[in-house]
């Protein structure tokens, strides 16, 4: 069913403002008062005050209350002096904007397939520009979705050259976000720096931790009771970037290694999708080695 015309107009004009600054009296008021005084209707608001580090964060979705078109420049001109009084770092994004995404994958396609499905049915509001892989296995899936597929094989001797090709694709499509959907290669420090805050990785989170080959077989031998996944921003420390989302499921003695792996794939898909959703909706503040995430 199509949305009523007035609802479509409101959605088209909706905006998201995110801001952070040192904790001080009036931080919520400076944003909400400006919106009220200029005829904007708030549809969603979240704020958080980190009392340990005396840092304040706020995210607000809003729209013009009278159905008028949103004047972005007028908003900047009017709000900037108010934000400067609090030394606020702030960003304004149109809610309707669809970020440009490049997905990286190796052989396992479960996370890629899940993201493509969500994108195809409209629940993931992004523009998937390309899929990059070090293997040819997922090319048919990309072709079925009419998405460009770049196969760049890699070895220890060709890592620098391969990453240069990957970086070229990222730049070519003016990419907003890179999603590592089970891309089983460690990015170089240089690439991690280039992608800081705009690359999300997913990996299993077995408790206790099992590293190396066949982690689910190791987990089975130890009688694991929890299977989980962690989605985080990429950093130069392997699998230790700022955490965005985590998921966990209980298992028991009846789960064989292949059952544990299947359960793990399910958790990885959901956890990665949740992280990507929060990122594209501007719900995440990257805060040192941590994140502040305003979920719905």
Give the catalytic positions in this structure.
239
The angle formed by the CA atoms of residues 98, 101 and 105, to the nearest 5 degrees, is 150
Structure tokens at 207: 């408790």
Residue 219: closest CA among 161, 184, 183, 262: 262
β-sheet bridge partners, residue 102: 130, 178
Inter-axis angle of helices 257-280 and 110-120, nearest 10: 40
Alpha helices in 173-289 (DSSP H): 189-194, 215-221, 257-280
Instruction: Give the phi and the psi of residue 58 in degrees, each rounded to 5.
Output: -150, 145
State yes or no: cis peptide before 208, omega within 30 of 0: yes
């Amino acid at each position: 069913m199509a949305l009523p015309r007035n609802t479509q107009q409101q959605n088209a004009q909706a905006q998201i403002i995110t801001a952070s600054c040192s904790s001080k009296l009036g931080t919520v008021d400076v944003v909400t008062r400006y919106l009220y005084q200029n005829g904007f209707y708030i549809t969603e608001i979240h704020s958080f005050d980190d009392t340990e580090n005396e840092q304040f964060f706020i995210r607000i979705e809003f729209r013009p209350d009278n159905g008028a078109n949103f004047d972005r420049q007028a908003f900047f001109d009017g709000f900037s002096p108010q934000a400067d009084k609090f030394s606020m770092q702030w960003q304004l994004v149109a809610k309707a904007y669809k970020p440009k995404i490049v997905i990286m994958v190796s052989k396992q396609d479960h996370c890629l397939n899940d993201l493509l499905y969500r994108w195809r049915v409209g629940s993931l509001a992004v523009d998937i520009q390309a899929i990059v892989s070090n293997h040819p296995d997922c090319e048919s899936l990309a072709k079925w979705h009419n998405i460009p597929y770049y196969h760049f094989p890699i070895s220890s001797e060709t890592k620098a050259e391969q990453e240069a090709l990957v970086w070229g694709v990222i730049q070519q499509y003016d990419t907003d976000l890179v999603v590592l959907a089970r891309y089983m290669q460690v990015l170089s420090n240089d690439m991690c720096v280039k992608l800081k805050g705009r690359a999300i990785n997913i990996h299993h989170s077995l408790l206790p931790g099992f590293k190396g080959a066949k982690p689910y077989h190791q987990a089975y031998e130890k009688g694991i009771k929890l299977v989980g996944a962690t989605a985080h921003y990429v950093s130069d420390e392997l699998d230790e970037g700022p955490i965005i989302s985590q998921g966990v499921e209980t298992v028991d003695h009846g789960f064989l290694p292949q059952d544990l792996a299947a359960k793990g794939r399910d958790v990885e898909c959901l956890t990665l999708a949740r992280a990507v959703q929060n990122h594209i909706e501007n719900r995440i503040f990257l805060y040192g080695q941590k994140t502040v995430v305003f979920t719905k």
